[in-house]
Amino acid sequence: MKLTKHPAPHIRYQESNRTLMADMILLQLVLFVPAVVYYGLRVLVIAAITVATAVLCDGACTLLRGKKLNPRDFSPVVTGLIITLCMPATVPYRVVIAAAFFAIVVVKHPFGGTGNNLFNPAAAGLSFAAICWPNQVFMYPQPFESIPAFGEVAVKLSQNPAFVLKLGGIPTNDITEMILGNYPGPMGATSILVIVACLGYLLFRGTVRWQLPIPFLAACAFVAFLFPRVGTNGVQSMLYELMSGTLLFGAVFMISDPATNPKRDSSMAVYGIFAGLITMLFRYFGGFEESMAFAVLFANAFVPLIDRYNESLHRVIRRKNLEARKAKKAQEA
């Protein structure tokens, strides 16, 4: 039998890497519809600049490494779209350019490019931008604010509900308005109803394994319910935590990255729970109200350990099952 060697990620399902990326791009483009409705054409300009930066940097790094360009590799497009959707509509263009550059040049290609990166490039780019320009990244315009596509942006900015939770207060935003995305926040992360529909589509298609987002969201909800930051009941705390910031968006589009998540289904579930707990710890005790990107990077660092110890556990189970079958055959003989 002739075996052909291919680089990671190795997807063990009918979907190819190109199909997976195409599904992600399609759903991210869907999220741009409410973003454009709320914030205008500047959203598309930011997306074009971010994606172009990511694609150009990816192509340049590929050529510098002596590799051929792969026109079927949509991963830099996905990275650029994720960075865009997690930013405010008023973000300066230089910030998204720097974020995309850092994601591709510093995080992705030094480890071998597509499928070989240890850390999620988009999460790294967002974290870099958040540390360097927190005031530009964590301040948001009101929906339906008139924002010029080019030139100086001079509109009133405000914090999102995640910041209110960080201060120990109760957000004044109506739950229904939050479900529809009509509140200040990242361009593509506030439309909760659309994001939930995207998750359902990806699970139905099998593009995303349920062992990643569902345990992640369950762990976040569990912590929010038992240890509410708002002075009401656990259910309201859970709703506000899940629907504020980029938590739900990250569960769908960042946790599910095939290159940085574990390989076995059981390992994915452990990783999802671990990432959810880390996300909540960052939210409760971290320096920023938006901690999803930092939590993803932290969880990525533990993926090799999760894979290693889970594989060791499966090896022990297989050995015990084999010994049990041998003992049963010996008794029957």
Q: What is the pLDDT of residues 19-45, one digit of tens each?
A: 778 888 999 999 999 999 999 999 999
Paired tokens of 2: 């002739």
Half-sphere exposure of 131 (CA within 13 A, CB side): 12
At 30, list the tokens: 């869907």
The pLDDT assigned to 17 comes to: 64
Report residue 11's pLDDT band, with 50, 70 and 90 as the boundaries: very low
For 274-300, what is the mean pLDDT?
89
Sign of CA pseudo-dihedral 35, 18, 206, 314: negative
Q: Which of 142-152 are b and which e, b meaning 16 or more Cβ less than 10 Å from the residue's Cβ?
A: ebebebeeeee
Instruction: Count Cβ atoms within 10 A of the Cβ of residue 116 and give its class: 0-12 exposed, 13-18 middle, 19 or more buried.
Output: middle
> Which residue, among 36, 64, 163, has the nearest Cα to 171 in the 3D structure?
163
Angle between helix 192-205 and helix 17-39 axes, rounded to 10 deg: 170
Mean pLDDT of all residues in 246-275: 88
The helix/strand/coil state of 321 is helix
pLDDT tens for residues 197-222? Answer: 999 999 988 888 898 999 999 999 99
Per-residue tokens: 237? 């705390």
Cβ atoms of 140 and 90 closer than 8 Å: yes
Task: Tell whether the model's pLDDT for residue 320 goes beyond 80.
Answer: no
**Residue 157 backbone dihedrals phi, psi, to 5 degrees:** -110, 155
Q: Which two tokens stand for residue 317?
A: 């189970």
